[in-house]
Amino acid sequence: MTAVHDLVVDDAVIVTMNARRDVVHGWIAIDDGAVTAVGSGRAPTARESVDARGGIVHPGFLSTHQHAMDALGRGARDEAPDFFDWLFGTYYGSVLGYGDADAGRAVALTGADLARAGITTVVDCWGVGGVGSRRADACLVASVAAAVRTGLRWIVAPMVSDRLPPGWDALLDRHAVEPADLVAPTDVARRFADAACDLATGRVEVWTSVELPEMAGDALLAGLGDVARARSVGFTTHVCASEPGAVDVGGERAVARLDRLGLVRPGTVAAHAVFADASGRELLADRGMGAAHCAAATMLLGGTSSPLGALLDAGVAVGLGLDNATLNATADMGAEMRQALMFDRVAGTGRARATAHEIFAHATIDGARALGRDAELGSIEPGKRADLVLVDTGGSHLQPPRDPVLALVWQATRADIRLVLVDGEPVHDRR
């Protein structure tokens, strides 16, 4: 008896991102939210079908580092003169005043942007300050509920801290920020992180996180590692995002410190790693910690060196991240891929400059590798989840049809996306 599939996507140019990087002109069969077959020729029978009309179908993108909370701060002010002015004046100036309705709205706006851009998985380093307060608890609950409604794969990573780095007292005074807005007692921060894991549901996961390693003592970092292992969840933080942050208060290198405390391991993600030294990059690679490269945000804060090449030369799995909405205001992975390529071309650190095909891999299968999720995400293969993006190639800017990956990186925009599926279910449909 001939099998009848749940869904078939037919007449597609399928960019599989499998190990052979096959491009198949044909169809994809989906059952129970997973890809069950990819083939050419006549499509099999299905209860429901999608006619791709010759368009490109590619794996859903993964944003391996992002902050949904400051979505409401977009357009509030012009470019900040330096990192700390942006951090305190723009980012904290927005999120520290949130109530639960604000938090839910920020996630809803971010989710709509992500879905339109074909981003089906996001790692959201979440924070509104005041960890342990009823306000923060309510904001987190509202954020998770809003994330569930998006239908996306949403990894919420509540950032906690228990100490202020040296020199920050003056910054707090200048920007009228209270220490309690940024740090909490160690036991309170750990309990908050542990309790947050209870909110995970459906496609929404909860990881552990600190805002910056230099904002967390050893006891808190080790405790978060214990929570992550006990809960079988990941850990993520900003690592060596600034030159001062590359070395801890005691002179220990940041990556070495995280490794000593058991946090550099598979299923964990280091965001940025711009100022990681060679030994730090080697530790990330040897231990299997992924990295999130945020090219646009790095450049907008004045970054003059792309860490991508050096990370790849060391063997680190690297994904792309859209980072903060107050820096990178338009959620568009196509734009992020182009920014990453151009940043690498003018300020690269590796033995060779990145290609469009390599950058597309960082947005898909290598992003999944960075999260430790490449067995289920990042490519279109039997057994993997049916997170798919259909791109209409009828526009004049996508003609003539040649290499579909080059077209997706250099020519396509999110306006060309017609359909986005997560587990074979539509989360964005403009057919």
In the chain, where the domains are located: 5-58+379-429, 61-370
Pairing relation of β-strands 204-206 and 153-160?
A: parallel
**Which stretches of the chain drop beneath a pLDDT of 70?**
1-2, 78-81, 245-246, 249
Whole-number pLDDT of residue 249 = 64
Q: Which of 353, 249, 240, 355 is nearest to 298 (CA)?
A: 240
Q: Which of 136, 147, 264 is nearest to 200 (CA)?
A: 147
Q: What residues have CB less than 8 Å from 336, skipping those under 6 apart?
A: 295, 296, 320, 322, 328, 363
Whole-number pLDDT of residue 245 = 66
Assign domain 5-58+379-429 to a CATH class: mainly beta
User: Which residue has 């750990």 as its token pair?
Assistant: 190
- For the domain spanning 61-370, the CATH number is 3.20.20.140
Q: What is the crossing angle of helices 134-150 and 186-196, to 10°?
A: 30
Whole-number pLDDT of residue 25 = 98
* 3-state DSSP assignment of residue 157: strand
Cα dist from 58 to 95, 189, 197, whole Å: 34, 40, 31
Q: Say what the pTM is.
A: 0.96
Rounded Cα–Cα distance for residues 425 and 419 (Å)? 10
